[in-house]
Structure 1
Amino acid sequence: MSTILSLNNISKRYGHVQALDGVSFDIPAGSVYGILGPNGSGKTTMLGIVTDVLKADAGSFTLMEQTPSAAQRRKIGTLLETPNFYHYLSAYKNLQIVANIKQTSEQDIPRVLELAGLVARQHSAFKTYSLGMKQRLAIAAAMLGDPEVLILDEPANGLDPVGIAEVRNLIRQLAQSGKTIIMASHLLDEVEKVCTHVAILRKGKLLGSGPVNAVLSRDNFIEIGGPDNQALSQLIKQHPAFVQVLPGQDGILQVTFRETIDPASLNSWCAQQGVWLSHLQMSRKSLETAFLELTNN
C-alpha cells in the first residue's frame, strides 16, 4: 500500500507550550486515518501544518510522495473550522461561492450535493439546516473538485447523535469511493467505528500509530470466580499460560493468558487442582480501557 502522507519529526511551539514534539508517522493511501487525542494534544496544529495554514518549527512532510505544490493542494479537500456559510443563502448558492474561490467548475455542485444527501434541501437557506446538515454541507464544499484526500478537523464535534451518525455515514461512503480521509477527533467511539488507522497524540507527543486494532490492543481475558477468590488467585498463577490476574467487579478475577485458552479446559484444570469455579466467562478489554492504558503510561 502506497503512502499518501509522511510526517518526519514535526515540531511546533507556541511560547512555552510544545504543541508538537518530533512527531513522525505515515498515512497509507485509501485509509481512514484518525488523529486521536484530548483537547490540547496537538491535533489541529498538525492538520494546520499539513494544509500549510501553519509552519512547523522543525521537521518536514511529504504529501502524495512529494513536497506539496499548488497543483497538489487542489487534490486536497479541507474542513478545519466550524462550517462558515452565508446564513441567508441556499446550500447551492453557498457552494457556487466556494467553487469560485477554489477555482473549480460549478458543474461539480450537483455531485457533491448528492454525496452529502442534500439534494432535496439544496435551495433552502443555510440557517434552516440542522447541525448535521450544516456539517455535511461543509464536507460537500471540501469535496468540490473531487480531491483525492480529505482532511477533516473534528467533523462530529458539537453534533447530536443523529448528526454524528449522518457525518459518520458520509465519511464511510467517501472512504468506499477510494478517498483517503484524515480526521482529527477526541471521540474514541467515532474513531473505532469509522477509522482503519489511528495516531494517538498526548501533549504534542506521538504515543502510537498504525492500524486501529494494533495500536489499541484489546486482549481477550477470562473472568473467573469461586468460593475463595484469594486462594483462586494464587492457584491461577500456577497455570502454564498465566500472564496476569487483576481484580474485577464483585470480587471476580480477570485473568490474561499468553495464548487462547478454552474455557472448558480451564474449568477442568481448576477442578483437577481441587477448585470448582462458580463464575467463568470470556471477555474483552473495552476500547476505552485500552486507550486509557496507552495514554496514562
Structure 2
Amino acid sequence: MRPPSSGAGEVPVVQTAGLTRTFGSATAVDSVHLAVRPGRIYGLLGPNGAGKSTTLKMLLGLLPPSSGEIRLFGQPWNRGALARIGASINGPSYYGHLSARQNLAVHAHLLGVSGAEVERVLAAVELSDAGRKKAKSFSTGMKGRLALAMAMLGDPDLLILDEPQNGLDPEGIAALRTMLRRFTDGGRTVVLSSHLLGEVASLADDIGLIAAGQLRYQGSIADFAPDGDLERAYFALTGTGVRA
C-alpha cells in the first residue's frame, strides 16, 4: 500500500518504502509503506502477531530490515536521529528496588540530561508524589506511566510506544490519552502499536492497519469506517474474528 500524500510542504516524521523483514522463510513484515505526519498520534493497529512490533523495532534500529527504506525526520535512517526519539518497546523496563525518581535519574545520567528533566517528566506523567515507593510495588498503571516518563526524557520530537495500553483500566487509558495529547501539542509526534481497536480509535488521529505483515489501510479513522462501524471495517480488512 502506497502512503497517502502529505500536506503541502509537510515532511513525514516517519516514512518507509517497501519495508520488509523476513525470518528464514517466514515474512513478518511485507513491503510496508508508512507515512506518519508531524503533530499527530499514529496508531499501528492489527491482530497479535501481525508485524506491528517488528515494524517498530526496525524504525528504532533494533532489527535491520531485510529490504526497503526508512526515513526519519525527512532523512534516510541514521543512528543520530535516535537522539530525537523516545521509545518503550516490550513493556516497562525498570529497576524494581528503585523508586520512580531513582529509575529516571539512572536513565537521565545515561542520556546526559539534567535532574530538572527528571522532575519535568515525573510531573508530566503524574508520578511526582510516588515518593520512595519501589517500582516493583507499582500498579500496572503506575508502571506504564514510568515507562512513558522514561521515553519522554530529553524532550524527544517523536515517541514510539509498543502496546502502551496493555493492562490499563479505563481510567488509566483515559490518563494515557491525556498525556499523549499534551505531548503532541506543539507539533511533536507519537507512533503507538495496539491490537485494541476501540482504544486506538479513541486515541489516534491516523491509523495504519497491518495484518499478516501487510499494510491493509492507512489514513484517518473517519475514512477507515465512513459508516461508523469500526468492527465491520476491521474484520473486512484483517479477515479475522466474527461478530456476535
TM-score by length of 2: 0.90
Partner of 1:288: 231
Structure number with the bigger relative contact order (C-alpha 8 A, sep ≥ 6) is 2
Query: What is residue 146 of structure 2 aligned with on the other side?
Result: 137
Amino acid at match of 1:182: V
Partner SS state of residue 70, structure 2: strand
Q: 1:118 maps to what in 2?
A: 127
AA at the equivalent of 2:226: R
**1:152–1:213 CA distance, 2 compared to 1 (3 A):** same
Q: Aligned AA for 1:218?
A: P
Tell me the distance in 1 between the aligned counterparts of 2:60 and 2:79.
11
One-letter amino acid of the counterpart of residue 37, structure 1: G
Residue 217 of structure 1 pairs with residue 196 of structure 2: no
Q: Secondary structure at the match of 1:112?
A: helix
Equivalence for 1:191: 200
Deviation digits for residues 249-284 of structure 1, max 9, x if unmatched? xxxxxxxxxxxxxxxxxxxxxxxxxxxxxxxxxxxx
Q: Which has the larger radius of gyration?
A: 1
Deviation per CA, 1:182-233: give whole Å up to 9, x if none. Answer: 001101011111100011100001101112211x1232xxxxxxxxxxxxxx
Q: Matches of 1:118 and 1:60 in 2, distance apart? A: 38
Unaligned runs of 5+ in 2: 1-9
Q: Are the equivalent residues in 2 in contact too, given 1:96–1:106 (CA < 8 A)?
A: yes
Match of 1:40 in 2: 49
Partner secondary structure for residue 124 of structure 2: helix
Counterpart residue type for residue 48 of structure 2: N
1:1-297 pair list within 5 angstroms: 1-214=10-223, 216-219=224-227, 285-296=228-239
What is the Cα deviation at residue 87 of structure 1?
Answer: 1.2
Q: Say which SS state the counterpart of residue 52 (structure 1) adopts.
A: coil
The 3-state SS of whatever aligns with 1:173 is helix
The change in CA–CA distance for 1:213 and 1:90 in structure 2 (over 3 A counts) is: same
Q: What CA distance in whole angstroms lies between the structure 1 residues aligned with 2:176 and 2:30?
A: 31
Question: Quick one: percent identity of the two aligned structures?
Answer: 36
CA distance in 2, matches of 1:137, 1:101: 16
In the aligned structure 1, how far is the partner of 2:194 from the partner of 2:186?
A: 22
Name the structure 1 match of 2:3. Answer: none
Task: Tell me the number of residue pairs that the alignment of Structure 1 and Structure 2 aligns.
Answer: 231
Q: Tell me how far 1:61 sits from its aligned partner.
A: 0.7
Match of 2:76, SS state, is coil
| Comparing 20-29 and 67-76, the one that deviates more | 67-76
For the residue of structure 2 that corresponds to 1:182, the secondary structure is strand
Aligned 8 A contact 1:42 1:202 in 2 = yes
Structure 1 segments of 4+ aligned residues over 3 angstroms from their partners: 68-71
Partner of 1:227: none
